[in-house]
Amino acid sequence: MAACIEARGLRRSFGSTVALDGLDLRVEEGRILGLIGPNGAGKSTALNAILGLTRYEGDLRVLGLDPWTQRDQLMRDVAFIADVAVLPRWIRVAQLLDYVGGVHPRFDRAKAEGFLAKTTIQRTSRVRELSKGMVTQLHLAIVMAIDAKLLVLDEPTLGLDLLYRKQFYDTLLNDYFDRSRTILVTTHQVEEIQDVLTDFLFIDRGRIVLDCSMEEFESRYAEVMVGPDRVEAARQLQPMRERKVFGRSLFLFDRVNRERLAAIGEVRTPSIADLFVAVLGGAS
Amino acid sequence: MSDFLRETSASAPLTNARPIFWSIKRELWENRSLYLAPLAIAAITLFVYGLSTFSLAPRLREAELARSQSIVMPFSAIAAFLLISSFLIAAYYCVDALNGERRDRSLLFWKSLPISDREAVLSKAAIPFVVQPAIVFLIALLTQLNMFAVSIAVLASHGISPARLTARVPLAQMTVIMAYGLTAHVLWLAPIYGWLLMVSAWARRAALLWAVLPWLVAMALERILFSTTFLGDFVKYRLTGAMSEAFVPMGNEDAILRVSELAPLKFLSSAGLWIGLVLAAVFLAAAVRLRRNREPM
């Protein structure tokens, strides 16, 4: 089966700064993939390359197309929210729906109206008159009414309050995602999307440093809370990382037998954020 | 061969007209001054002209005796004034057309839709080249018709036959002249619109300064260093040349009122026209490339 996104040796530099340093990536259809990395790791450049917004060296195919030369064709099957504040501020909600309906062959206006009916957004309002949360709801309503194969979200909940952030992912999962669509999301709020993802990637200095499915993550990594008397025993098992919380020690293990871990303390699934710190915190 | 034709017609996207149509509509939503400004000018003119009609009957008799053009002057002046202001409005639009969308980052939204950079730039170029001239032509024509109707009504109240006004105001000929003059000017000014659109796509900020300042500096330097004014003459020719290239003024009136004063063949054989059109195409192609390459600010 052809991959939704396939990149090999993707490179891009801005002057002397290398944003993408030979990035390899393969995203299968029907996944919800989180792209996680520190600032300046190359996340946005990678997304921009996938969306045909920036040029690159190397091989890149998105839904079988070359994003840089075939962006307009690609955008029939790809939807993206680049960040919360990109809807034109002067436009009226009704005009926006008219326009997208006029130019996008896969836009279902009735569906968008349906999503908007659940909000307090007025058709006659201009975008500039809406709150940040409402603008996000509006953008999400439009994007979800587009029958796309790939949805790309770049920091979609940046600057939103807790309620909207929670609602954003709930709506996305319940009303939009089905197994035939692929979603690619970047965010700094890793804990927010941990339950949503099927896969995640750590990116650092323009390269993928970890590529992991959630099943693999849950079976492979374990966090153990250990009392002071078992600390030495825990260290013998070569943890990835050790930290102290309220006088107790927390160890993160990679591929260590669960029974052996259970013998030294309380075992649980770590958060992606903890793994991120363990993988990237040590490197830098 | 027939197979080939069938295949291309099947795969040829018939929907291409729709993105352009909606993109142009979108430009009009965003830039309402494109039609509101000429409408305001027309409304003010109509009002002032309406006030002036109280003395129309005596002035008509005077003009008939003196064989002067004073009666037609307001008609011709409103057309000229609307046309000139439309060039300014269009130029102002061009400077911001590809800059504003990067400044407010809405470019990221426009680029998330299945519209190519070429379609986007062409639909923006359609505003100064087609849409705005058409709007201004209609507004100017309607204004003239209104002025004409008001004049006839006022004269009729004095018992003066409308034929005497028609003899002084050749409205049909003036409409042809206006359409021709507008077309000639748009074609002649094409490289200027192209240049402004290109700079708009290129400049990070202060697009207007980047569009104008280099020319002013170069003109000043030429004057200081070589004591010549080639560049200044060139710019002036490009701004005003359509009048000398597309018309053959006869008589010494201020306005062009006769179709015989039009010189389409002379205009079409002018090298300046074709060089300008080629430059406009080059600038637009550059604007398409720039829009593709530039990231939002």
Q: Do B22 and A54 touch (CB under 8 A)?
A: no
Task: Give me A61's structure tokens.
Answer: 């195919």
Q: Return the residue of B nearest to A56 by Cα.
A: B293
Q: Band of the pLDDT at A35, cuts 50, 70, 90?
A: very high
Q: Can you tell me the distance from the alpha carbon of B256 to that of B262, in angstroms, rounded to the nearest whole number?
A: 9
| Residue range of the domain that includes B59 | 23-293
**According to the model, what pLDDT value does residue B255 have?**
66
Cα–Cα distance, A269 to A252 (Å, whole number): 9
pLDDT at residue A108 is higher than 70: yes
pLDDT of residue B254: 62
Size of interface A-B (CB pairs under 8 A): 79
In whole angstroms, give the CA distance from residue B264 to residue B179: 12
Per DSSP, B86 falls in state: H
Q: How far is A124 from chain B (nearest CA, A)?
A: 13
Residue B214 CA to residue B202 CA, distance in Å, equals: 14
Q: Looking at residue B139, what is its pLDDT?
A: 95
Taking alpha carbons only, the member of B278, B290, B289 closest to residue B210 is B290
pTM, two decimals, is 0.87
Segments of chain B scoring below 50 in pLDDT: 1-16
Backbone angles phi, psi at A14, to 5 degrees: -115, 105
Question: Any idea of the CA torsion for B49, B51, B56, B58, to the nearest 10 degrees?
Answer: -140
Task: Give the pairing type, strands A248-254 and A241-245.
Answer: antiparallel
If interface means Cβ-Cβ distance under 8 Å, which residues of chain A face chain B? 48, 51-55, 71-76, 78-83, 85-92, 95, 98-100, 102-105
What are the Cα distances from residue A131, in Å, to A14, A134, A162, A192?
Answer: 35, 5, 14, 22
Distances from the Cα of A206 to the Cα of A12, A37, A60, angstroms: 9, 10, 15
Residue environment code for B79-112, b if the CB has 16+ CB neighbours within 10 A, otherwise e:
bbebbeebbebbbbbbbbbbbbbbebbbbbbbbb
Q: Is A223 left (phi over 0), alpha (psi -120 to 50) or beta?
A: beta
Number of domains in chain B: 1
User: Which amino acid would we find at residue A63?
Assistant: L
Amino acid B40 reads A
Give dist(CA B262, CA B242) in Å, integer.
11
Nearest-CB residue to A72 (from B107, B116, B293): B116
What is the pLDDT at residue A39?
A: 83
Do residue A53 and residue B295 have CB atoms under 8 angstroms apart? Answer: yes
Within a domain: residue B38? yes
Q: Interface pTM (ipTM) of the complex?
A: 0.87
B230 touches chain A (CB under 8 A): no
pLDDT digits (tens, 9 = 90+) for A160-191: 788 888 888 888 888 788 878 899 998 888 88
CA distance A106 to chain B (A): 10
Render B226-267 in DSSP notation, one character per residue: H---HHHHHHHHHHHHHHHHHB---SS-SS---GGGB-HHHH
The pLDDT of residue B11: 42
Q: Answer whether residue B199 is part of any domain.
A: yes
Q: Does position A24 have pLDDT exceeding 60, yes or no? A: yes
**pLDDT the model gives residue B2:** 44
pLDDT value at residue A84: 59
- Show the tokens assigned to B144: 């003239």
Q: Which of A74, A90, A102 sits opposite B22 (nearest CB)?
A: A102
Is B260 a domain residue? Answer: yes
- Residue that is written with structure tokens 């040829």 in the block: B12
| Tokens read off for B24 | 């142009």
Q: What is the pLDDT of residue B9?
A: 40
* pLDDT for B12: 43
Considering only CB atoms, B106 lies closest to which of A51, A87, A104, namely A87
How far apart CA A35 and CA B94 sit, in angstroms, is: 39
Element (H, E) at A67: none
Measured between CB atoms, which of B22, B23, B108 is closest to A82? B108
Chain B residues touching A51 at Cβ < 8 A? 111-112
Q: Distance from B186 to chain A by nearest Cα, in Å?
A: 28
B295/A48 CB distance under 8 A: yes
Asked whether residue B9 is domain-assigned, the answer is no
**Contacting residues of A for B117, CB less than 8 Å apart:** 71-72
Measured between CA atoms, how close is A156 to chain B, in angstroms?
13
First to last CA, chain A: 37
Residue B219 belongs to a domain: yes
Q: Are A187 and A23 in contact (CB under 8 A)?
A: no
Identify the three-state secondary structure at position A195. coil
Q: Under DSSP, is residue B1 helix (H, G, I), strand (E, B) or coil?
A: coil
Q: In the prediction, which pLDDT does A283 show? A: 45
Residue to substitute from B16, B27, B109, B124, interface A, most A β-carbons within 10 A: B109
Read off the amino acid at residue A209.
Answer: V
Nearest to A103 among B101, B105, B114 (CB): B114
Mean pLDDT computed over A107-127: 92
Residues in chain B: 297
- The reply to whether residue B114 touches residue A105, judged by beta carbons under 8 angstroms, is yes
Q: In what order do the strands lie in the sheet with A5-14?
A: A17-27, A5-14, A57-62
Does residue B17 belong to any structural domain of this protein?
Answer: no
Residue numbers in B near A85 (CB within 8 A): 105
Residue A169, Cβ density class (10 Å: 0-12 exposed, 13-18 middle, ≥19 buried): buried
In a domain, B1, yes or no: no
Q: Cβ contact (<8 Å) for A103 and B22? A: yes
In sequence order, what DSSP letters do the residues of B113-159 get, joined into one string?
SS--HHHHHHHHHHIIIIIHHHHHHHHHHHHHHHHHHHHHHHHHHTT
Interface of B with A in 50-109 (CB under 8 A): 101, 104-109
DSSP string, A217-280: HHHHEEEEEE-GGGHHHHHHT--SEEEEETTEEEEEEES--HHHHHHHSEEEPPPHHHHHIIII
CB contact under 8 A, A90 and B30: yes
Among residues B237, B291, B282, B4, the alpha carbon closest in space to that of B123 is found at B291
Q: Is the pLDDT of residue A59 over 80?
A: yes
User: B13 lies in a domain?
Assistant: no
Q: Per residue in A193-234, pLDDT tens?
A: 888 899 999 998 888 999 999 889 888 898 888 888 888 888
Q: Tens digits of per-residue pLDDT, A69-107? A: 999 999 999 999 877 578 999 999 999 999 999 999 999
- B17-37: string of b/e by CB count within 10 Å (b at 16+)? eebbebbbbbbeebbeebbeb
With CB atoms and an 8 Å threshold, state whether B111 touches A75. Answer: yes
Nearest CA in chain A to B116: A72
